[in-house]
Amino acid sequence: MSDQPQPTGTASNPVIPGFHPDPSVCRVGDDYYLVCSSFEYFPGIPVFHSRDLVNWTQIGNALDRPSQLHLAPEVPSSAGIYAPTLRHHDGRFWLIVTIVGGGGNVIVTATDPAGPWSDPVPAPGVPGIDPDLAWDEDGTCWCTVAGVSQVRLDPTTGETFGEPRRIWSGTGGKAPEAPHLYRIGAYWYLLIAEGGTERGHGVSIARGSTPTGPFEPCPDNPVLTHRSTDRPIQNTGHADLVQAPDGSWWMVLLGVRPRGGTPGWHVLGRETFLAPVEWVDGWPVVGPLTTELPTPAWPLYPAAAVPSRDDFEQAELHPQWISVRERPEQLCTTKERSGWLTLRAAGASLDENDAVFVGRRQQHLVCRARTLIDPADGRGGLAVRLDEEHHYEIEAADGRVAVIARIGSVRAEVASRPVPPGPVVLGVDIDPLTPRDARGGPDALSFGIEDADGTFTALATLEGRYLSTEVAGGFTGRVIGMYAAAGTIHFDRFDYEPQPSS
């Protein structure tokens, strides 16, 4: 990250685009740190750093070792890592999270948020999902979970004391969840999400004189929701509050950007947005949440650029790269062939839960990806994945390439052509549909091959709605990457580039 501040003005919202849901944030001095859910992907829990709340750099993943996170093939997509809470207390970073299908609620700690993080400490007495940590004045730690209930906790051992106790659970909307408890001024505030994580999502708040309540609800709840509006950001909820050094307050939250006709499809997953907060009569008032963000009244520090091209010349993969459930070194390495990523197949296709896949989140509505693949010793390719039943790919093997679509229970090869022996550049272009197709889905995905002169030849163009949450369900977003389906496959490079949206 650059140390030279930039002028203030406006910035784009989301501040962390792509599949980065359930943000939790804390500030230490002039630095902000943020974590998100990662569900069935490994490594788990991306960790970001910022000096201005607007520009974020991924500095690691909290669960990046198999000893910390083991997701068996039986763990379904959209299970795994749910809703971490990140806090800084007594000189240490504390992170509590639910591993659905893989250990329940656990706690990890670090002195440096870039890692290493500790092995998980189980907290079996903490019920449910979306756990939060808050310390009162005498050092007692309170854990509040979706529902909403609360229990006293020793975060160093995971031991709980007494039975969980139900506390304020919102205004009556479904799925009260994502609780965060804060001491602000004379009150303890309990911030929650309710209404479900779809179009009815919203943020509500209550306050009390003690961390255990009783809690008085805000008379203007929900303090944030975009339900029943035509605003470009929808599903707004699962928020966290942070105070800047100048005393101003801000909210990070998740939202989506649906496109296309009714009902609207979002394909990037739930993204992290930022909104200003003012306090009026002891209650937070959330400022306008739009795709153009009025930036804070302090200098901006550009995030460290993520290279658009990875030549796989480093011994370890960049923290942006994720795999499905696990990444055994014997199946994924940059050390076997210098400057190449080598993948060895386990599952026979991306339909399988043990597929060998290395990808990065799609973060732009219009983009393109390319990879140079050597399929001489196997079969594999370039894929856009939502889950095992919703993915498109272009696959190379035996002197031919083929475009494959998996939609629900249907799997089909939709196009193919022969190619000369040797490495081949596979690509996908993701573009919005033309206005005449606006009654349809959000975008179109064109899969093809690229010649030595850079000419891209599309073999097939597939509609994007089938790789959307509104069709597939679940809690994730698209991930674009490389996979092996048989034998051993080598990838010389991977390019991902956003494209103009006009």
**Residues for the chain: how many in total?**
502
CA angle 377, 378, 382 (to 5 degrees): 125
pLDDT at 1: 40
DSSP label of 6: B
Residues 273 and 330 in one domain: no
Query: Do 248 and 355 share a domain, yes or no?
Result: no
Residue where one domain finishes, among candidates 234, 253, 287: 287
Domain range holding 217? 16-287
CA 121/CA 153 separation, integer angstroms: 12
End-of-domain residue from the set 252, 287, 322: 287
Name 458's Cβ contacts closer than 8 Å, sequence gap at least 6: 429, 446, 447, 448
Is 146 within the bounds of a domain? yes
Tens place of pLDDT per residue across the chain (502 aa): 445 555 556 789 999 999 999 999 999 999 999 999 999 999 999 999 999 999 999 999 999 999 999 999 999 999 999 999 999 999 999 999 999 998 899 999 999 999 999 999 999 999 999 999 999 999 999 999 999 999 999 999 999 999 999 999 999 999 999 999 999 999 999 999 999 999 999 999 999 999 999 999 999 999 999 999 999 999 999 999 999 999 999 999 999 999 998 899 999 999 999 999 999 999 999 999 999 988 888 888 888 888 899 999 999 999 999 999 999 999 999 999 999 999 999 999 999 999 999 999 999 999 999 999 999 999 999 999 999 999 999 999 999 999 999 999 999 999 999 999 999 999 999 999 866 555 688 999 999 999 999 999 999 999 999 999 999 999 999 999 999 999 999 999 999 999 987 5
CATH code assigned at 185: 2.115.10.20
Is 152 a domain residue? yes
Residue 254's alpha-carbon distances to 37, 214, 321, 424, in angstroms, are 11, 28, 21, 38
- How many angstroms separate the CA atoms of 188 and 102, rounded? 33
The 3-class SS string of 162-196 reads EEEEECCCCCCCCCCEEEEEEEECCEEEEEEEECC
Annotation marks residue 74 as catalytic: no
Residue 3 lies in a domain: no
Q: Which amino acid is at 365?
A: L
Q: How many CB atoms lie within 10 A of CB 7?
A: 7
Task: State how far the Cα of 144 lies from the Cα of 130, in Å rounded to an integer.
Answer: 8
CATH number at residue 316: 2.60.120.200
> What gap in Å lies between CA 495 and CA 355, rounded to an integer?
22
Q: Are residues 190 and 319 in the same domain?
A: no
Instruction: Check whether residue 210 and residue 340 sit in a common domain.
Output: no
Cα–Cα dist 361/354, whole Å = 19
Residues 260 and 334 in one domain: no
Residues 263 and 330 grouped into a single domain: no
Query: Are 269 and 319 in a shared domain?
Result: no
The pLDDT of residue 2? 46
For residue 11, is it within any domain?
A: no
Instruction: Check whether residue 448 and residue 482 sit in a common domain.
Output: yes
User: Residue 9 falls within a domain, yes or no?
Assistant: no
Question: 273 and 201 in one domain?
Answer: yes
Residue 97 within a domain = yes
Residue 471's H or E segment, with its range, is: helix 469-472
In a shared domain, residues 167 and 250: yes
d(CA 58, CA 108): 18
pLDDT at 7: 52
Residues 72 and 183 in one domain: yes
**CA-to-CA dists, residue 71 to 41, 79, 103, 324, 373, angstroms:** 9, 9, 9, 9, 28
Residue 206 domain-assigned (yes or no):
yes
**Same domain for 108 and 62:** yes
Quick one: CA dihedral 99, 144, 22, 174, positive or negative? positive
Q: Residue 307 carries which DSSP code?
A: P
Report if pTM > 0.85: yes
Are the CB atoms for 446 and 432 separated by under 8 Å? no
**């806090």: which residue's tokens?**
87
pLDDT at position 431, please?
95
Q: Per the domain annotation, does 32 fall within a domain?
A: yes
Question: Which of 177, 240, 374, 395 is flagged as catalytic?
Answer: 177
Burial 58-67 (b: 16+ CB within 10 A, else e): bbbbbbbeee
389 noted as active-site residue: no
What is the number of structural domains in the chain? Answer: 2
